[in-house]
């Protein structure tokens, strides 16, 4: 028989007992949950005024696709002078998106412009919610619902994501399609993965490099599915406009590039190289495309792709038998697919969510191991520190970055400080790509690092 006093001592737990340890662990978890919820609430309070203001602004990117879709449905070429005038564009500015993009806006073309924006904004927020929930759960990250909530509120208060919603940009849709392509590939389902990548190719040109990745990875069925999906949209464009639409699109992208290629906010390799020839502190009437800059960009991009393929080759080969080893190669090439293009604006940063989370899961993978070495802990700590730096750079104010050229030209800002602002545009993607490349070289012929069952 157990005495009353003994029962009470057992319930309370003696110092160092399992009950005491369990209580402390539960208290620790409660404090973590409370802290995350508090920080998320503070971030949300900071985000709401920005989002409210953005909701009333004209969708300066979306109105192009919306107007182009209306012209296509009316049987008119959206790239013609008359259509550009009806849309509210000039020949110099041009219609900067491929004709296949306009097909996506068919269901929204009958709506009022601002109603279209509100509908697309809600779709984008819902996609982002699923995006974060799926990637954190799939990678088996700790407290994934809380991590998803914290990331969602953080993104909603960043200037660039607010701009993404205000302008009705397509980057989250592309990033979500990338995510679904990765989701299916790591389950060995090449057909659906290829469809997702093919759909992304219809929105912008740069996802086409992910088809190259599928070929390098020897995912033949996925590559064929991507091509077939893209051709469905091409067939609709040809039915409505004929082959001239693609030629007109390419002609108009040239004048658009002359305006924006060297902008301080352009994080692409092409933009970086052009700024070598058009420094921020020089006042210039125009910054046209330079053949030598484009050649340098092509060489740098090729070298980066060769290194990425060499680093990924072992993982890609093993992933044929263990599909989840596709994680890091896919993440690396998803970053590099954006880098060589003429533009990589801040709202493209949503594509970095998947690579960042994969690196976070890799840094925290020591939790599943016994007898972790000191070197492993140091490496993980350094990796987490770099990821924190990337997150900090993703929160840089666009207002301040926009002021850099003006301050530079009035000599109110040192050259070093200008370069620091310029570096924050491209260092996030470059840091993540470098980390992934290093880890792939380190992990060659090594084990899988994500263990969530399919």
Break the chain into its structural domains and give their ranges: 40-443
Helices and strands (H, E) in the chain, number of each type = 20, 0
- The separation between CA 3 and the C-alpha centre of its own chain, rounded to angstroms, equals 63
CB 160 within 8 A of CB 54: no
Per-residue CA distances from 62 to 57, 255, 278 (Å): 11, 20, 29
pLDDT tops 70 at residue 5: no
Query: Which alpha helices (DSSP H) does 217-290 contain, by range?
Result: 220-240, 244-260, 269-277
Longest distance between any two alpha carbons in the chain, whole Å: 95
Q: How many CA atoms lie within 13 A of 215 on its CB side?
A: 8
How many angstroms separate the first and last alpha carbons of the chain?
Answer: 49
Categorise residue 141: left if φ over 0, alpha if ψ from -120 to 50, beta otherwise: beta
- Look at residue 434 and give its three-state secondary structure: helix
Binning pLDDT at 50, 70 and 90, where does residue 420 land? confident
pLDDT tier, 7 (very low <50, low <70, confident <90, very high otherwise): very low
Tell me the three state secondary structure of residue 175. helix
d(CA 70, CA 205): 22
Task: Give the pLDDT band (50/70/90) at residue 273.
Answer: very high
Closest to 223 (Cα-Cα) out of 185, 251, 270 = 185
* Beta carbons within 10 angstroms of residue 313's beta carbon: 15
Q: CA 420 to CA 319: how far, in whole Å?
A: 39
d(CA 408, CA 262): 15
- For the stretch 280-305, pLDDT in tens is 666 555 667 788 999 999 999 999 99
| Per-residue pLDDT at 113 | 93
Tell me which of 285 and 126 has the higher pLDDT.
126
Cβ atoms 437, 315 nearer than 8 A? no
Instruction: Choose the weakest-confidence range: 140-154, 284-298, 302-316.
Output: 284-298
401-425 mean pLDDT: 67
User: CA dist 159 to 278, 343, 349, 403, Å?
Assistant: 26, 18, 12, 14
Burial of 297 (0-12, 13-18, 19+ CB in 10 A): buried
Span 231-249, average pLDDT? 91
Over residues 238-260, mean pLDDT: 82
What pTM value is reported for the model? 0.89
Beta-carbon contacts of 325 under 8 Å, excluding residues fewer than 6 positions away, are 315, 316, 318, 319, 448
Q: Comparing C-alpha atoms, which of 140, 176, 172 is closest to residue 158?
A: 172
42-51, 252-261, 346-355, 380-389: lowest mean pLDDT where?
252-261
């Amino acid at each position: 028989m157990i005495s009353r006093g003994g029962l009470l001592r057992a319930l309370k737990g003696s110092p160092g007992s399992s009950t005491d340890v369990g209580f402390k662990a539960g208290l620790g978890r409660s404090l973590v949950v409370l802290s995350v919820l508090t920080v998320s609430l503070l971030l949300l309070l900071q985000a709401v005024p920005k989002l409210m203001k953005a909701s009333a602004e004209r969708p300066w990117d979306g109105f192009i696709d919306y107007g182009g879709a209306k012209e296509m449905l009316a049987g008119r070429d959206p790239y013609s002078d008359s259509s550009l005038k009806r849309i509210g564009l000039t020949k110099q500015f041009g219609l900067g998106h491929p004709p296949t993009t306009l097909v996506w806006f068919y269901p929204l073309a009958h709506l009022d412009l601002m109603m279209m924006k509100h509908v697309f904004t809600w779709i984008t927020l819902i996609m982002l919610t699923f995006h974060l929930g799926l990637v954190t759960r799939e990678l088996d990250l700790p407290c994934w619902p809380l991590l998803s909530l914290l990331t969602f509120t953080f993104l909603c208060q960043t200037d660039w994501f607010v701009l993404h919603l205000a302008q009705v940009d397509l980057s989250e849709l592309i990033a979500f399609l990338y995510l679904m392509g990765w989701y299916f590939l790591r389950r060995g389902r090449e057909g659906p993965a290829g469809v997702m990548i093919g759909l992304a190719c219809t929105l912008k040109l740069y996802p086409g490099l992910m088809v190259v990745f599928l070929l390098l990875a020897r995912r033949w069925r996925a590559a064929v599915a991507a091509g077939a999906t893209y051709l469905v949209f091409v067939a609709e464009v040809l039915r409505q406009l004929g082959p001239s639409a693609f030629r007109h699109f390419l002609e108009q992208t040239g004048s658009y590039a002359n305006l924006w290629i060297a902008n301080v906010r352009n994080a692409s390799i092409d933009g970086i190289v052009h700024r070598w020839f058009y420094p921020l502190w020089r006042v210039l009437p125009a910054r046209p495309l330079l053949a030598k800059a484009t050649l340098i960009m092509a060489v740098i991009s090729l070298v980066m792709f060769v290194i990425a393929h060499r680093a990924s080759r072992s993982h890609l080969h093993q992933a044929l038998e263990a599909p989840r080893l596709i994680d890091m190669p896919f993440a690396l090439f998803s970053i590099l697919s954006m880098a060589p293009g003429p533009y990589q604006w801040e709202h493209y940063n949503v594509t970095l969510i998947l690579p960042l989370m994969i690196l976070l899961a890799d840094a925290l993978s020591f939790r599943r191991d016994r007898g972790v070495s000191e070197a492993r802990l140091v490496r993980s700590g350094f990796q987490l520190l770099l990821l924190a730096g990337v997150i900090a750079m993703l929160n840089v104010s666009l207002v301040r970055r926009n002021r850099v050229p003006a301050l530079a030209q009035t000599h109110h800002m040192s050259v070093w400080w200008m370069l620091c602002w310029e570096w924050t545009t491209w260092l996030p993607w470059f840091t993540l790509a470098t980390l992934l490349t290093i880890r792939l070289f380190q992990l060659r012929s090594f084990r899988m690092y994500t263990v969530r069952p399919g």
